[in-house]
Chain A
Amino acid sequence: MTLKLDKKDFHSFLQNLMNDYELFAPVQVAEGVAVYKKIEHPLEAARFSLNPQKPAKEVFFPQSETMFRYGKVGVKTEVTSTEKVERKRILLGARPCDLQAVSLLDEIFQGREYSDPYYINKRQATTVIGMGCSQPLSTCFCSSMEGGPFSRNHSDIFLIDLGEAYLVEVLTEKGKAFEKNPFFKKATQKDLKAAKSIEKNASNQVGAILSLEGIERKLDQMIESPFWDRVQERCIGCRVCTYLCPTCHCFDIADETLTTKGQRVRNWDSCLSSLYSQETSGHNPRPTNRERTRQRLMHKFNYFPKNVGRIACVGCGRCVLYCPADLDIRETIKEIQKG
């Protein structure tokens, strides 16, 4: 069913959602810098034009998250899990690239042997209102990664920015719960036509220019290649590309304690950090930046496909845009493909 939402009603619409849901949306934290955050006031979610630096994974997999609290009572330690999600949630305004990435994270956190309740509970409690990407950048390559700026996959409701209004497509059962929202109107033929042309425009801008065909097999042969020496040379070993990557999901677990009480917390971690794989003895199976940069790329283009059958990159371009040393994963892919 196709509806529309006038932009003049946008804030009232958000207020209306916030009565029953916790609302997560891009929030500007400095000029030109945005992250996904829980909204306390509708005006916080005002800007939609940029894809936030920090990806939407954070709504389901926060950078820092308490797993349980513990406290000593006599000789016993009481453990209280914080896995429960109290209120239903909405993720608003996520781009198709970030949502495709979430579907990759589902594969990890759902897992065949073990499920991760912290992630799964948030995921199940959340209705996803995705957003068409009408102004993709030249760094975007979603169309090469089985996505596209207007891919509806993994959205329950999908918005298309028409200028004065949003076109609203209800896509799933979960989304249907919102059909009766008082701010939604029926979309006109004209709206539909306008949306089509916006979609076409954007899709034309992001061509499927990168070939990923056979990259997994190529990499099988490249483990010991001098290629990695070249990749690692420019890399300064920071964590920008991993933390801003919508599919990277490594974490560390640590206890934070004051006296007899404390909490066990998980924090994002990065394979580019030297301490990530360093053992207590001091031995490190990935002793240099060469092994670490290789791990990052192998994980996305070889290990993940081996385990799950999908490539763990969605072409959002964040690692290209924000790398302090201007490493460009598109060029790396091309070089791998050249062999």
Chain B
Amino acid sequence: MKNPYLPIPMMVKKAFMETTDRMLRTLELTFQKEEDQKAFEFIPGQFCELSSFGKGEAPFGIASSPTENGSLKFTINRAGMVTTTLHHIEEGEEVGIRGPLGNGYPIDLFKGHNLLVVGGGFAFTTLRSLIAYFLEPEHRSLIREITVLYGARMPGLLLYKEELQEWSKRDDMKVVVTVDVGDQGWKGTVGLVPNVLKEVAPSSEDTYAVVCGPPIMIRFTLPQLKALQFPDERIYTSLERRMKCGVGKCGRCNIGHLYVCKDGPVFSLEQLNILPKEG
């Protein structure tokens, strides 16, 4: 019987600050044991529990794509004790991880359709995984048009800036990066995600929308998507809840009869509509 509570060791290969407010730090982790690496198969949208021994665990979406072999990326928002220690961990040090956990994005469902990715703030992590997955040369043909809309409060708070630039140069996808408030160097779009969405959204016909971001952004983005005639079953989002076990046993993260950790974190709006409104 595999023990789902035992973390496997991974080494911090690279660690760097993503944002100017120094609240978001990305860790690139490499497997220490070959068997662990082999056993670790995931899809975009899944998450892991990262251990800081002595402080505990916290869940993080996997920011890397399964196509980026050999390592896993996590972007960590400093909020509590575990995340604070993960902000201080150095390259060459070890962390424990458990996963992959959760259901991930319904990749197969997206195949053959258009994809609209809407992200805000630091919730862009698993969206990055999803985009990178479909941009992989062998995967690109699985999906038709890709539109990415990503926003942050300020330019300095955008994640994965280099990659965003690379993407925006590609001609097989449309990338719109927006900030609530620009600065001197900012040449891009200024505006809140829901408002910009109105301008840049592709036709809802044959398109799946994936939305991740702070609750306030989600709240205003969903009506926009509805106005654009996206049906609920083609709108997906990834939820966050306080979690402990990650495997549907400890309670606490449930919404109705579903556990965010095990049955989610990715849900369609259609699914969420019939669950109790606990948020």
Contacts and interface: CB of A to CB of B under 8 A. Distances in A.
Touch between A and B in complex, CB under 8 Å? yes
Instruction: Classify chain B: how many residues form its interface, as a range.
Output: 35 or more
Interface in B67-85: 79-80, 83
Q: Give the 3 A-B CB pairs with smallest separation, nearest first.
A: A250-B251, A257-B54, A303-B257
A269 B92 contact: no
Interface residues of A, number: 54
B257 A77 contact: no
A285 B279 contact: yes
B256 interface: yes
B5 to A, nearest CB: 5
B11 to A, nearest CB: 8
Interface in B225-260: 240-242, 244-245, 247-257
A253 interface: yes
A121 B249 CA distance: 16
Contacts of B7: 79
Given A254-B56, A257-B54, A306-B257, A280 B80 contact: yes
A109 to B, nearest CB: 7
Interface of B: 1-7, 9, 53-58, 79-80, 83, 92-94, 96, 215, 240-242, 244-245, 247-257, 262, 276-279
A77 B252 CA distance: 29
A223 B250 contact: no
Interface string A268-308: 01010000111111010110000100010011001110110
A73 to B, nearest CB: 10
A264 B98 CA distance: 14
A79 B96 contact: yes
Nearest to A78: B9
A298 B256 CA distance: 8
A81 B247 CA distance: 18
B53 to A, nearest CB: 5
Contacts of B248: 111, 113-114
A67 B279 contact: no
A75 B94 contact: yes
Nearest to A72: B53
A77 B9 contact: yes
Given A252-B250, A280-B242, 12 more contacts: A109-B249, A114-B247, A121-B1, A251-B250, A255-B56, A266-B250, A276-B242, A277-B252, A279-B240, A286-B278, A298-B256, A299-B251
Do most interface residues of chain B lie in helix, strand or loop, or is the interface mixed? loop
Contacts of A111: 247-249
Interface string A68-82: 101010011101010
B259 to A, nearest CB: 9
Nearest to B5: A67
A108 interface: yes
29 contacts: A68-B6, A75-B94, A77-B94, A79-B6, A81-B6, A109-B249, A115-B1, A116-B5, A249-B251, A251-B245, A251-B249, A252-B244, A253-B5, A253-B245, A255-B56, A262-B54, A266-B250, A269-B250, A269-B252, A277-B252, A279-B242, A280-B58, A280-B83, A285-B255, A285-B278, A295-B254, A298-B256, A303-B257, A306-B256
Q: Considering residues A77, A224, A279, which has the most beta carbons from chain B within 10 angstroms of its beta carbon?
A: A77
A146 interface: no
A114 B6 contact: no
Contact of A223 (B2, B56, B79, B276): B276
Interface in A179-235: 223-224
B53 A277 contact: no
B9 A70 contact: no
A106 interface: no
B53 A253 contact: no
A76 B250 contact: no
